[in-house]
Chain A
Amino acid sequence: MTVIGGGIAGLCAAIAARRGGAVVRLLEAAPRPLRGGNARHGRNFRLTHETPLDYVPDRYTAEELRAELRSVTGDDTDRALTELLIERAHSIAGWLIDHGVHLQPPGTGVMPYSRRTAFPLGGGKAMINALYASAERLGIAINYDSEVRSILRSEGGGWTINVRSTGADDPIRTRSVVVCAGGAGADQAWLRANFGSTAEGWMVRGTPYADGRLLDLLIGAGGCAIGDPTTCHVVPVDARGPQFDGGIVTRITSIPLGLVVDRSGARIDVAGAGSQPTHYAKWGPRIADCPGQLAYLLLDARGLARAAPSALAPITAPSLGELAATLAIDPAALLQNIDDFNAAPANAARTIAVPPFFAYPMRPGLTFVHYGIKVDATMRVVQADGRRHDDLFAAGMIMAANVLRLGYLAGLGITLSAVFGQIAGEEAARHVRG
């Protein structure tokens, strides 16, 4: 059988299938150093546990997870899949550890206290590396630089997969396919089609390889789409960062410490965004609405001193006039707006008054889209007419919208992708073994 996509979902599917007795090939579009999809950028993942464990303190129960999921999704979710997710969120950490992943004991390093999530030691890429090493040990054939271009039903059963590797197209015959190619969005044309011309100014925080091609293929071949392609998780990122794969370090975290203006110097605000971690996802869409999808966060010396570090040093100027000149904003408008802001600041400590002054240029950075392919509880792709192929599966972000059509819970992406990947692998192995 063949697994398409070597992110966390694909790795879990491939390993689970191999353990289930199948002969497995994993096709990954990225070159080896960029393998692993977006889990590379992941820091922690959710899990349930009744007692403190070596890698997570206190307890976090299935009931709590269920309640928190409900508060995000409301009733607009697939109950059976949600229950599967909750059930496996209990065992996923142990399974990952069994496959070589090291989790960081609480109290080591500087990670914040978290009873809901575990932190892979060395971050998501370390976890990915460990899983690839396990996959190799188990005898899974892994092909990098191998982008799947199409999947076609073969005569007499099974599938023919067209793979583009190092320029040449190569057909592969396989009995069963698990598609773990990630969500859509890492593609300008796709973004433009769904978000209009404003998508020009967006950045993509994750891998450029999760471009939605396979999602489109599955839908084009009769698969049932689920969710809304225009609902997404988008946060403010540094406009000077890379177009793709900026990950966590280009996110601008210090908006609550300063003032946001657009290109014309006009003040931008988001009612009720507050300073909770959830404020990022509220600011992202607001910046997407700004002219040119560009906004500036302004901080003074005191604001910067309280801000968390970010990857690129802020633009600095000794006076607000010079800052306006550097940013090519009309100085008169900017100074007027800052005066107004300082006259009625959100918080007395947050005026923009003490030089030097700093600015972060910001653009919307897409984390993921709430859109995917419908699957059943065995991860088989469901057709628009309700039928399903017994040998075509999908897992991970490509089907996350079955559970999550709105909002997000921190650390859910990796858990969801790992759990559903595992299930898809088990089911596919059961199928090919007959």
Chain B
Amino acid sequence: MSAADPMLEAERVLRICSACMYCDGLCPVFPAIDGKHGFSLSDVSYMSNLCHNCQGCWHDCQYAPPHPFAVNLPATFAELRQRSYADHLWPPTLGRAFRASSLAVPATVALAQLITFALVLSTGSTEMLFAADAREGAFYRMLPWPAMAGLAGGTFAWAVIAITLATLRYWRTIAPGVTISEIMRALPVALSDIITLRHLGGGGPGCHDDGAPPSHRRRILHHLTAGGFVLSGLSTMVAAAYHHLLGVAAPYPVGSLPVMLGLVGGVTMTVGAVGLLGLEARADREPSDRGETRLNVAFLILLALVGASGLAVLGFRSTPAMGLLLSTHLGLVFGLFAALPFSKALHAPFRAAALLRAAIDGNRRASTQAPEAAGDTP
């Protein structure tokens, strides 16, 4: 990064981009800057989350260093994206945990791990931790249901509340003066963009995930990770329904819905997260930001561990290893939930918010702009 203040650097670079616009087909950032002479903090906060760091505009930039303009839009946005998270965290004091996320995330997980083991040991005996037990209700003999549900529910509720409030704060920054009817009209497009990861198509060829020519690897791996996360969540909810509505206690048989959902979800999430970690490891450093890389890596490792430990519980649940594996898995899950509000997880709702605003702007543009007739000329 050349300038000390990332806001000034963003202004400088975005000005060059809006005069150039050669990258307009790559992602929605460019239509969003079209024709603009100046950029406010709100604009930049919004655009930094419209950027999904495909690095296309780095490889394709006619002004990338060593050109004196030294345009490096992905790195500029990566820095500002982190700032957009940090500026809107709830509670705001989480800022410190966020800035040191590669320490804070593992520390939170370790703490959750510790609490879980302490609870397991305080309810049973050390022998029980290492004894095989495959009968119905075995999991709750390790950690009684109220403790398990309490920890899971508590950490989950914390994550939902903190992330929701952070997202609302962010929305207020990036979308002042947007009406409900505009939101409703833009919602179908935004949702479809979010679910299909349309923009990770890069206008056709995909993302420059590892410095090589663009490919669709990143989009596929992201689908696996996010899809796996959702399926795993569903598995937990179905299991809760079995418990409360059907009165059947875990562990459930292999063919049952919660196990199948968990199995498929766990495998896809783990494969996706490990694949994304591979891309992070090979990614071009110049258009990246070290802070963001750390944020990504901490979150992906955690997701991969949660997925892998869940699968291990399933695979070894009738062996003496069950106790240890289950306790580890539960600790990781509680830790994940507890760390979500200051982890890369913020990317999901923030990007969704940015895409919603992009869809609103798209509608506004469509209703005001007349088509131009001329070609270009140097």
Chain A: residues with CB nearer than 8 A to chain B?
A: 31, 33-34, 40-44, 100, 102, 104, 108-114, 116-117, 119, 121-126, 129-130, 133, 205, 233, 235, 242, 245, 247-249, 251, 277-278, 280, 304, 307-313, 367, 408, 410-411, 413
A133 to B64, CA, bound (A): 19
For residue A110, which residues in chain B have a CB less than 8 angstroms away from its CB?
Answer: 21, 24, 30-31, 34
Given contacts A109-B30, A113-B371, A242-B69, A125 and B61 within 8 Å (CB-CB): yes
**Nearest-Cβ distance from residue A207 to partner chain B, whole angstroms:** 10
Question: Is B62 a contact partner of A123 (Cβ separation < 8 A)?
Answer: yes
Question: Is A248 a contact partner of B15 (Cβ separation < 8 A)?
Answer: no
Given contacts A121-B203, A122-B57, A245-B67, A40 and B62 within 8 Å (CB-CB): yes
The main secondary structure of chain A at its interface with chain B is: loop
Task: Determine which of B15, B59, B61 lies in contact with A312 in the assembled complex, contact meaning CB atoms within 8 Å.
Answer: B15
Within 8 A of A (CB), among B66-80: 66-69
The residue in chain A whose Cβ has the minimal distance to the Cβ of B375 is A114
A339 to B25, CA, bound (A): 44
A411 to B59, CA, bound (A): 22
Task: Please tell me if B4 contacts chain A, counting CB pairs below 8 Å.
Answer: no
Chain A CB count within 10 A is highest, among B26, B34, B373, for B26
Task: Determine which of A116, A249, A411 lies in contact with B20 in the assembled complex, contact meaning CB atoms within 8 Å.
Answer: A249
A123 to B22, CA, bound (A): 5
A242 to B66, CA, bound (A): 12
The residue in chain B whose Cβ has the minimal distance to the Cβ of A280 is B377
A126 to B59, CA, bound (A): 7
A242 to B63, CA, bound (A): 11
20 contacts between A and B (CB under 8 A): A34-B66, A100-B213, A108-B203, A110-B30, A110-B31, A111-B21, A113-B372, A121-B204, A125-B60, A125-B61, A126-B60, A242-B68, A247-B20, A248-B22, A249-B63, A308-B35, A309-B35, A410-B375, A411-B375, A411-B376
**Nearest-Cβ distance from residue A258 to partner chain B, whole angstroms:** 15
Given contacts A40-B62, A123-B60, A124-B62, A108 and B25 within 8 Å (CB-CB): yes
Question: Is B25 a contact partner of A104 (Cβ separation < 8 A)?
Answer: yes
Question: Is A410 a contact partner of B213 (Cβ separation < 8 A)?
Answer: no
The residue in chain A whose Cβ has the minimal distance to the Cβ of B369 is A110
**Nearest-Cβ distance from residue A36 to partner chain B, whole angstroms:** 9
Task: Determine which of B22, B37, B372, B374 lies in contact with A122 in the assembled complex, contact meaning CB atoms within 8 Å.
Answer: B22
Question: Is A116 a contact partner of B375 (Cβ separation < 8 A)?
Answer: yes
Within 8 A of A (CB), among B40-64: 56-57, 59-64
Question: Is B18 a contact partner of A309 (Cβ separation < 8 A)?
Answer: yes
For residue A309, which residues in chain B have a CB less than 8 angstroms away from its CB?
Answer: 15, 18-19, 35-37
Task: Please tell me if B149 contacts chain A, counting CB pairs below 8 Å.
Answer: no
Question: Is A304 a contact partner of B37 (Cβ separation < 8 A)?
Answer: yes
**Nearest-Cβ distance from residue B13 to partner chain A, whole angstroms:** 10
**Nearest-Cβ distance from residue A391 to partner chain B, whole angstroms:** 34
Question: Is A44 a contact partner of B375 (Cβ separation < 8 A)?
Answer: yes
Given contacts A113-B371, A123-B62, A309-B36, A43 and B31 within 8 Å (CB-CB): no
Question: Is B22 a contact partner of A242 (Cβ separation < 8 A)?
Answer: no
Within 8 A of A (CB), among B1-38: 15-16, 18-26, 30-31, 34-37
Task: Please tell me if B378 contacts chain A, counting CB pairs below 8 Å.
Answer: yes
A33 to B15, CA, bound (A): 22
Task: Please tell me if B205 contacts chain A, counting CB pairs below 8 Å.
Answer: yes
A100 to B66, CA, bound (A): 25
**Nearest-Cβ distance from residue A24 to partner chain B, whole angstroms:** 21
Question: Is A410 a contact partner of B378 (Cβ separation < 8 A)?
Answer: yes
Question: Is B24 a contact partner of A44 (Cβ separation < 8 A)?
Answer: no
The residue in chain A whose Cβ has the minimal distance to the Cβ of B67 is A245
Given contacts A309-B19, A408-B377, A129 and B35 within 8 Å (CB-CB): no
Task: Determine which of B19, B20, B65, B377 lies in contact with A33 in the assembled complex, contact meaning CB atoms within 8 Å.
Answer: B65
For residue B205, which residues in chain A have a CB less than 8 angstroms away from its CB?
Answer: 102, 121
For residue A233, which residues in chain B have a CB less than 8 angstroms away from its CB?
Answer: 378
The residue in chain B whose Cβ has the minimal distance to the Cβ of A130 is B213
**Nearest-Cβ distance from residue A30 to partner chain B, whole angstroms:** 10
For residue A31, which residues in chain B have a CB less than 8 angstroms away from its CB?
Answer: 66
Task: Determine which of A44, A130, A304, A311 lies in contact with B376 in the assembled complex, contact meaning CB atoms within 8 Å.
Answer: A44
Q: Mark B254-291, 1 if CB is under 8 A from A, else 0.
A: 00000000000000000000000000000000000000
Task: Determine which of A102, A112, A124 lies in contact with B203 in the assembled complex, contact meaning CB atoms within 8 Å.
Answer: A102
For residue B213, which residues in chain A have a CB less than 8 angstroms away from its CB?
Answer: 100, 129-130, 133
The residue in chain A whose Cβ has the minimal distance to the Cβ of B24 is A109
For residue B67, which residues in chain A have a CB less than 8 angstroms away from its CB?
Answer: 34, 242, 245
A411 to B375, CA, bound (A): 9
